[in-house]
Each structure stands twice: as C-alpha cells, then as structure tokens.
Amino acid sequence: MGSVGAKEVPVLLTPDGRRIDGRRLDELRALEIRAGPLKQADGSAFVEWGANKVMAAVYGPREVHPRHLQQNDRAVIQCKYNMAAFSVDERKRPGLDRRSQEISKVIGEALQSVVFTEEFPRTSIDVYIEVLQANAGTRCAGLVAASVALADAGIPMVDLLPAVAVGKVAGAIALDLKKEEDNFGEADLPMALVPQSGRLVLLQMEGHMTEEELGTALDLGVGGCRAIYEKMKAALRDRYSVAPIEEAAR
C-alpha cells in the first residue's frame, strides 16, 4: 500500500505489468453467462463476472404502462437497473437514485438501437436488471445480461450487445476494471459494441486520458467486447442445444 494524503492507495500495477488481481492489462475477469434461469420471465440471463453477480429478466412485448409512453410505430424499451442494498460494501439505500436512473437510461437506449422495435408497435419490452453483488463494471454486466435475456425471450435484434469498461490504471490502459482500479485509477470508460457492424452504442468516460490513450482504450475495449460476444453466443447455444437422440432417450 502507498498513501496519498489520508487515503490508502493499493499498488495497482507491479513493475512486471501485473494488476491487483494478477491479471495482465489486456485480460478480462472470469466471465460466466447462463441464459434462461428464470421460469416466470419471458427471457432471462445471469452473469457472474469477476465479483459481479447480475440477473436480467425480460417481459414482453406486452401492453405499455404507463399508457402515455406508448408509440404507434414501435415498441418502447423500458429498462430498470437496480442495485440491491446488500450488493456493495456499505449498504446502499434501496430505491431509485440518480445513478440508477442514468444507468437505466443509457442501457435502455443502447438496447433500443439493436432491437427491431418497429415489429411490435404499441407494446413495451420491459427489461429488469438486478445487481446482486457489485464490483465495478455493473452497467456493462447488466447490458450483457439484458441482451442475452432479450435473445432468450425471442425478441428479434440486429445483434447481441457485448460491453466492457476499459480504464487507466497507474498510467496504463487496462481492460475490465475491478473495484479498486475503478476507485483509485485515473479513468473509467465503459462501452458497448454491435459486433457485426463495429458500431459503438454506449460510450461514457469518467476521469481523463490523452487522445492517444483513448485510441488504445477503444481498441482494447473492442477486442474485449468481441471475446465477450463469443461467451454470450455460447450461453445461448447451451440453452437451446438439442440433446442427441440417444442421450435424450436415456
């Protein structure tokens, strides 16, 4: 531990380029995705990503509530991101705060850009994201879970939406920040990619980095998203793969 003023700052990067949990700069945390764990929802997905645990549930297309949000030419996507009171070290006050509202909005807009909403006019597609355990990168984990849940619900989309946060840690650009890196690092840059078109549909930044570093960060993030995309597709394949006839008969 080093110290800055009264704040204890952990060693975020060793001289040989290892991060606080032993990862290299371009390594993702362990990621497991399960499609369809919830029976009551039309579609669902559970994501364990590092120490993050996030559940997403999708309902719809169904009647719009409140009615005034109804659109005659398309479905509306209503997204609710919520962090459980027990999901963080210091108990979070339950309910909608500004951060949850902002995250719900950016995730909803990202999803809106890939769902074929015009196929379901005058309906709502409701997406619930519940963060059960948080360790940085929960908006990205939420988006990954939500997009697999939408696919599980059979809602037509241009593509799945892998997402990851890149950042600057001890002067270096690093993929997929964990909590200490997010807290004590110099920048945090969550992004979501439409893999087939290469279009970014979510991009936010806190902190600061140079233009050159931003280019490196975007490249690293896009590479990370492509690796995450493979895991998302594998989760859906696992859910819908048909057992060989001999096995099913056993």
Task: Name the site residues for ligand CDP (rule: CB under 6 A).
Answer: 88, 92, 99, 134-139, 165, 179, 182, 188, 190
As given in the structure block, the two tokens for residue 146 are 């939500």
Residue 134 C-beta: closest distance to ligand CDP, Å: 4
130 or 188: whose CB is closer to ligand CDP? 188
Q: How far is the CB of 99 from ligand CDP (least distance, A)?
A: 6
CA distances from 100 to 54, 105, 158, 213, 237 (A): 14, 8, 26, 29, 31
Residue 184 CB contacts under 8 Å (≥ 6 apart), including other chains = 9, 10, 12, 169
Minimum gap (Å) between residue 190 Cβ and ligand CDP: 6
**Minimum CB distance to ligand CDP smaller for 7 or for 67:** 7
* Paired tokens of 120: 């379901």
DSSP code of residue 72:
S
Closest CB to ligand CDP among residues 152, 182: 182
Residue 69 or 85: which CB sits closer to ligand CDP? 85
DSSP designation for 80: E
* Minimum CB distance to ligand CDP, residue 56 (Å): 14
